[in-house]
Amino acid sequence: MKLSTKHLLGIKDLLPEDISLILSTAAQFKEVLQRPVKKVPSLRDVTIVNLFYENSTRTRMSFELAEKRLSADVMNFTASSSSAAKGETLLDTVNNILSMKVDMVVMRHSASGAPHFLAQHIPAAIVNAGDGINEHPTQALLDAFSMQEKFGSLKGLKVALIGDILHSRVALSNMYLLKKMGAEITVAGPPTLIPVHLQAALGVNITYNLAEALQWCDVANVLRIQLERQNQPLFSSLREYNLAYGITRKVLDGLKKEIVIMHPGPINRGVELDSDVADGPHSIILQQVENGVAVRMAALYLLAGREN
Ligand code: ASP
């Protein structure tokens, strides 16, 4: 089976069958990752560059490990230590890299749409590793994989996305994916961090009441407050935010049921999530990170295997 697309620019462009194919392929790679020898030759002779114009820990390391586990040749580019800092354009940088015979580009950029722009101008397959406030497709795929692993199916699953929905590419990719796969979504947070058009555009429920969202859901995916993307304050203080929307042990104990807690990282401990919840028995945050490698292996493998 093949993906319907040459690039992985966003979940918005994927068919439900593409998502199912990536998730089932990831399950096979997860099994490979449990073996004593974790490496397979699937992408031997494929050269991949990781082009990171914005900071990253998990995503970058996860892609690099996924590529190495697939036996690809890997190059890493960091904008701050490159000629981009001398004023070279994105297209010039990438064309120079491609002339070294690179097959795939994994790209993170602070501008929404940067990987889409590249995809229109270069022949290599592009994987979006996070573009501005737009999408972070592999994060949504690994979140979906982790939810499916925990609950068996995404269909009918009640997912709450909590916090900075406005600036979160993880939230948007999750909303696209969960809707395509038949889950129910409620977004919760302060009114200033939730675009009101989401309800009509994506069919998600909106609430400004944290307890209501948590009482409703099976799983809460808690998002980081993206202070670096806020030009003006959108709530009075981090302490105020924590008091109204922070998930604490006490908040969870007040629910009439148990829910699963997720977070894409990096966590602002004591702001959106308290440590005893992040590190507690209901958190699957580290499983998400583990699953990220298998999911990225699946995405890279499927994109590389496409005939053009
Ligand atoms: N790591 C995720 C991202 O790059 C989430 C975050 O930064 O808050 O979007």
- pLDDT (tens digit per residue) in 155-196: 999 999 999 999 999 999 999 999 999 999 999 999 999 999
pLDDT, tens digit, for every residue of 20-79? 999 999 999 999 999 999 999 999 999 999 999 998 999 999 999 999 999 999 999 988
- Ligand 1 site residues (CB inside 6 A) read 59, 130, 136, 169-170, 224, 226, 264-265
Residue 103 lies in a domain: yes
Exposure string over 137-173, b if 16+ CB within 10 A, otherwise e:
bbbbbbbbbbbbbebeebeebbbbbbbbbbbbbbbbb
Question: Chain-wide mean pLDDT for the chain?
Answer: 95
The structural domain count of the chain equals 2
pLDDT score of 214: 98
- Is residue 3 situated within a structural domain? no
Pocket test for ligand 1, best of 110, 135, 136 (most atoms within 8 A of CB): 136
Where residue 264 sits, what CATH number does that domain have?
Answer: 3.40.50.1370
pLDDT given at position 229: 85
Reading the block at residue 196, the tokens are: 């009101």
Q: Residue 177 falls within a domain, yes or no? A: yes
Residues 200 and 116 in one domain: no
Q: Are residues 144 and 278 in the same domain?
A: yes
Query: Comparing 13-17, 54-58, 65-69, 124-128, which segment has the lowest mean pLDDT?
Result: 54-58
114 & 92 share domain: yes
Same domain, 60 and 96: yes
Q: Is residue 144 part of a domain?
A: yes
What atom of ligand 1 comes closest to residue 168's alpha carbon?
9
Q: Which domain holds residue 268?
A: 137-288
283 shares a domain with 141:
yes
pLDDT at 81 over 90: no
Are 111 and 124 within one domain? yes
In a domain, 102, yes or no: yes
Atom of ligand 1 nearest to the CA of 58: 1
Claim to verify: residue 298 and residue 283 sit in the same structural domain:
no
Q: Order the strands of the 73-78 sheet from edge to edge.
A: 73-78, 47-52, 104-109, 125-131
Q: Looking at the predicted structure, is the pLDDT value of residue 213 above 50?
A: yes
Given a cut of 90, whether residue 205 has pLDDT beyond it is yes
Closest atom, ligand 1, to C-alpha of 59 = 1
Residue 1: band (very low, low, confident or very high) from pLDDT cuts 50, 70, 90: confident
CA distances from 184 to 143, 179, 256 (A): 15, 7, 20
Cβ–Cβ under 8 Å, residues 142 and 291: yes
Cα(1) to centroid of ligand 1, in Å?
31
Position 308 pLDDT exceeds 80: no
Q: Is residue 4 part of a domain?
A: no
Residue 5 lies in a domain: no
Same-domain pairing of 145 and 192: yes
For the cut 80, the answer to whether the pLDDT of residue 82 exceeds it is no
Q: Tell me, in angstroms, the distance from the centre of ligand 1 to residue 220's CA.
A: 16
This model's pTM is above 0.85: yes
| Atom nearest to 136 CA in ligand 1 | 9
Q: Would residue 41 count as lying in a domain? A: yes
- Both 36 and 169 in one domain: the answer is no
